[in-house]
Amino acid sequence: MQSTEENNEWDLTISADRTNLRFNFEYFWRYRDLLLLLVHRDVVAFYKQTILGPLWFVIQPICTTIIFTIVFGQIANLSTDGLPQIAFYLCGITLWNYFSECFNKTATTFRDNAPLFGKVFFPRLIVPLSVVISNLFRFAIQFVLFASVWIYYLLRNEVQPHASILYFPIVVLTMANLGLAGGLLFSAMTIRYRDLVLFLQFGVQLLLYATPVIYPASQIPSRWKLLLCWNPLTPLFEVTRHGFLGVGEYSVLSIGYAVAFSLVALGCSAIIFNRVERTFMDSI
C-alpha cells in the first residue's frame, strides 16, 4: 500500500529562484484578478471618506497651476515662449504629476505592503504595477482638465497643435516606465538604507527643477543645455508641448533616447527588485 504522502499530487510548488535575470511572466496573467483588485483598491482608497472625493484630482493641478502662474510667470517673469501661461504650466504639471506619483508610491512598495507580503505568495511586481495603472485613472482626469483648457485656447487661436501630438501615447508609456523604474530601484535600496526614504521627496522635488516643467528648454543657456539633454524626461515634456501647444525643442533621436533609457532602466531596476524581494522579509 502506498503511503498518503506518495499519493499527493501538488498543483503548485513554490521554490526560490536563484536566477535574478529570470521572470515568470505567466504569473502576471495568472494573478490578473489580484492586479485589478489592487488597482481598484488604490483608486477607491484615495478619495474614500473625503468630502470632495475625486474632485481632489482636479483641485491639486488647478491650485499648482495658479501658484506657478503667480510665482514663476508674474513674479519671476519666466518665459513661456509666448504661450498662455495657464496652458503652459498645466501641460507640464499634468505630465509631472503622473511621473512623480508613480515614482513616489512605487518607491515605498516594500514598506507599505510588508504585512501583505508576509502572509501570502504572489508576484511582488504586481503591487508596483498596480500603482502605475491606478495612477492612469488620476492622470486621465487631470488630462481632461488640461484638454478643456487647451480647447479654449485653441478656439482663441493662441496655441497651434502639431503632428507631433501623435507621440503622446509613447510619452505616457515612457513616463510610466521611468516612474516605475525609479520606484523599483528606490524600494530595493530603502530595505537596507532606510534614510533614503527621507531623501525621496526632496530628490523628486529637485528633479522637478532639473526638468523643463516650469520653463521651456529654449530658455536654458547653451552651456547647460547638454546637461539638460541627458535628462530623459526633457524630450518628453518638450514634444508634448510641441504637439499640443506648438512650441518645443525635440528630435526623433531625443525621443528614441528617452524610450531606450526607460526600457534599460526598467530592466535593471526589475532585476534588482527581483533579487531583493526574495529576502526582504528578513530585513523589513
Reply yes or no on whether the pLDDT at 154 is more than 70.
Answer: yes
Widest pairwise Cα distance in the chain? 88
Query: Of 177, 189, 183, 179, which Cα lies nearest the Cα of 275?
Result: 189
DSSP string, 105-151: HHTTHHHHTHHHHTTS---TTHHHHHHHHHHHHHHHHHHHHHHHHHH
Distance, in Å, from the CA atom of 128 to the CA atom of 39, rounded to the nearest integer, reads: 10
Per-residue pLDDT tens digits for 84-111? 999 999 999 999 999 999 998 888 877 7
The answer to whether residue 118 sits within a structural domain is: yes
The whole-model pTM stands at 0.85
The answer to whether residue 87 sits within a structural domain is: yes
The answer to whether residue 19 sits within a structural domain is: no
**How confident is the prediction for the chain on average, in pLDDT?**
83
Per-residue pLDDT tens digits for 39-65? 888 777 766 666 666 777 888 899 999
The answer to whether residue 28 sits within a structural domain is: no
Report the Cα–Cα distance between both ends of the chain, in Å, rounded. 47
More confident residue, 123 or 16: 123
Query: Of 130, 103, 109, 135, which Cα lies nearest the Cα of 211?
Result: 103
Domain residues for the domain of 154 are 44-282
Neighbours of 148 (CB within 10 A): 10
How many structural domains are present in the chain?
Answer: 1
The answer to whether residue 277 sits within a structural domain is: yes
The answer to whether residue 50 sits within a structural domain is: yes
Per-residue pLDDT, averaged over 229-240, amounts to 94
Distance, in Å, from the CA atom of 130 to the CA atom of 46, rounded to the nearest integer, reads: 14
The answer to whether residue 182 sits within a structural domain is: yes
Under the banding of pLDDT at 50, 70 and 90, the label for residue 1 is very low
The answer to whether residue 168 sits within a structural domain is: yes
